[in-house]
Every structure is written in structure tokens, then in C-alpha cells.
């Protein structure tokens, strides 16, 4: 029998592209208040997707979340956006490695991301106990992976997945919208002792 490589327990990240104009949303985020968050600015409003200028983007995100729930999680549970906020990274800004607690699926939507700006990096959740010398890096040996995106790209990923953004060496601002989700219906089942009433 010929050898084969099986990729078990893959980490699902869904990438989608929004093709409508982002001008109204970009104009709006210049009018709102921000607070410093390490080397970035974060909107004080952490429910930004409820704002009128984001109505079309929210509809797009809700549709993609439904796809993720149906096709990847294989569930009838609806993923509802719980919080959403704007991140602005000026030249020199970065995002340290983090994940998103109290969320099932998280997402990032890029409002302004150009070719010379850093891409998001996702990190492997299981760390190898041994460090072998490697002839080259593969999908099975790498500790992180940078995922290409552009303005209008939406990335959906499991909230436990650690991620970061390297330093912005561009002279322009890197602007993204992040959000978390959870279900509104009870989870698990009583017989299986996994019941979580909501």
C-alpha cells in the first residue's frame, strides 16, 4: 500500500471578500472616540456593528457566520455577534499574541489594509515537545501562519486560536473591525451532562 498523509483535526478559518464601497464606514470611524490599547487605538464603542453606517457590513458578516455554523461547525445554532470594535494601528503599531475568551467564533473585517501593511498571523495551539532540525518548513511543522487579506476581507476563526499582528511599518493606518460571537440558545444536553442553559 502506498503511504498517505492524513490531515486530522484541521483548524477552520473562513476567508470571504466584501465588494461594496467602504467609504461611509471609514468616514464614520473618524468621528468616534478611541482609547489607547498597547500600541493601538481601540474604539470606545464596543458594539460598533450596531451603528447605522455598518448595517450592510453587519448583514454580510451575519451571512458568513451562518455559513460557518452550517458548513464548518455543522450546527443549527445561530452565532450572534456579542461585541464589535474598531482597531487602528498607526505606523509602529502592532497586536500582541492573544485569543478571544467567552466567544465561540471570532472575526476580523479589514476596513483599510494595503500590500505594505502586516498580515495577521495565527499560531498553532499544540506545541511540539521536541525540536528537530528541519530541512524546510511545512504546514505540519510551522508554528504560525500569516494569512493574506486586503481591504474588505473577512476572516472567521475559532476564538481560542491565538493570533497577532506584526509591527506596521507603513506610513498609513491599518484599520480593522474585530468581533466575538456566542449562541442565544442553550448548549449541550442534560443526558450528556453538558447542558448550559442560556
What is the rounded CA–CA span in Å between residue 145 and residue 163? 9
- Structural domains of the chain, ranges and CATH numbers in brackets: 14-183 (2.60.120.620)
| Per-residue pLDDT reduced to its tens digit, 18-58 | 999 999 999 999 999 999 987 899 999 999 999 999 999 99
Instruction: Classify strands 120-123 and 144-147 as parallel, antiparallel or unpaired.
Output: antiparallel
Q: What is the mean pLDDT of residues 54-67?
A: 98
| Per-residue pLDDT reduced to its tens digit, 70-93 | 999 999 999 999 999 999 999 999
pLDDT score, position 37: 84
- In terms of C-beta density within 10 A (0-12 exposed, 13-18 middle, 19 or more buried), how is residue 90 classed? middle
| Per-residue pLDDT reduced to its tens digit, 99-149 | 999 999 999 999 999 999 999 999 998 877 888 888 998 888 888 999 999
Strand-by-strand arrangement of the 40-43 sheet: 14-17, 153-158, 105-112, 174-183, 79-89, 40-43, 34-37
Q: Per the confidence metrics, is the pTM higher than 0.85?
A: yes
- In terms of C-beta density within 10 A (0-12 exposed, 13-18 middle, 19 or more buried), how is residue 73 classed? middle
- In terms of C-beta density within 10 A (0-12 exposed, 13-18 middle, 19 or more buried), how is residue 117 classed? buried
What is the rounded CA–CA span in Å between residue 124 and residue 145? 8
List of E strands, 90-124: 95-98, 105-112, 120-123
Amino acid at each position: 500500500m502506498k503511504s498517505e498523509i492524513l490531515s486530522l483535526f484541521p483548524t477552520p478559518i473562513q476567508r470571504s471578500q466584501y465588494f461594496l464601497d467602504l467609504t461611509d464606514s471609514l468616514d464614520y470611524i473618524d468621528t468616534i472616540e478611541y482609547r489607547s490599547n498597547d500600541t493601538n487605538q481601540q474604539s470606545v464603542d464596543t458594539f460598533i456593528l450596531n451603528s447605522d453606517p455598518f448595517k450592510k457590513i453587519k448583514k454580510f458578516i451575519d451571512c458568513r457566520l451562518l455559513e460557518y455554523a452550517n458548513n464548518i461547525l455543522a450546527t443549527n445554532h445561530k452565532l450572534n455577534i456579542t461585541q464589535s470594535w474598531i482597531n487602528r494601528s498607526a505606523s509602529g503599531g502592532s497586536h500582541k499574541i492573544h485569543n478571544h475568551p467567552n466567544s465561540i467564533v471570532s472575526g476580523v473585517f479589514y476596513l483599510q489594509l494595503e500590500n505594505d501593511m502586516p498580515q495577521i498571523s495565527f499560531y498553532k495551539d499544540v506545541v511540539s515537545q521536541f525540536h528537530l532540525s528541519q530541512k524546510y518548513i511545512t504546514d505540519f511543522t510551522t508554528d504560525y501562519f500569516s494569512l493574506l487579506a486586503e481591504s474588505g476581507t473577512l476572516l472567521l476563526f475559532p476564538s481560542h486560536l491565538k493570533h497577532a499582528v506584526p509591527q506596521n511599518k507603513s506610513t498609513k493606518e491599518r484599520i480593522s473591525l474585530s468581533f466575538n460571537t456566542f449562541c442565544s440558545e442553550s448548549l449541550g444536553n442534560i443526558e450528556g451532562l453538558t447542558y448550559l442553559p442560556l
